[in-house]
Amino acid sequence: MSLAIFDLDNTLLSTDSDHAWGEFLLEQGAVDPVAYREANDRFLADYEAGTLDIHAFLKVALRPLAEHSPEQLAAWHQQFMASKIEPHVLSKGEELVARHRARGDTLLIVTATNRFITGPIAERLGIDELIAVEPEVSDGRYTGRATGIPSYREGKVERLDAWLVDKDLTLDDSWFYSDSHNDLALLERVEHPVAVDPDPSLREVAEARGWKIISLRD
State how far the Cα of 60 lies from the Cα of 144, in Å rounded to an integer. 8
State how far the Cα of 37 lies from the Cα of 202, in Å rounded to an integer. 27
DSSP 89: B
In this structure, are strands 141-147 and 175-178 parallel, antiparallel, or unpaired?
unpaired
State how far the Cα of 92 lies from the Cα of 2, in Å rounded to an integer. 20
Let me know if 183 is a catalytic residue.
Answer: no
**3-class state of residue 202 by DSSP:** helix
Q: Which residues, 6 or more positions from 194, have their beta carbon under 8 angstroms from its beta carbon?
A: 175, 176, 177, 178, 211, 212, 213, 214
Q: Which residues, 6 or more positions from 38, have their beta carbon under 8 angstroms from its beta carbon?
A: none
Q: Which residue among the candidates 9, 105, 179, 183 is catalytic per the annotation?
A: 9
Let me know if 161 is a catalytic residue.
Answer: no
**Closest of 14, 199, 173, 36 to residue 93, by C-alpha:** 14
**Residues annotated catalytic, as ranges:** 7, 9
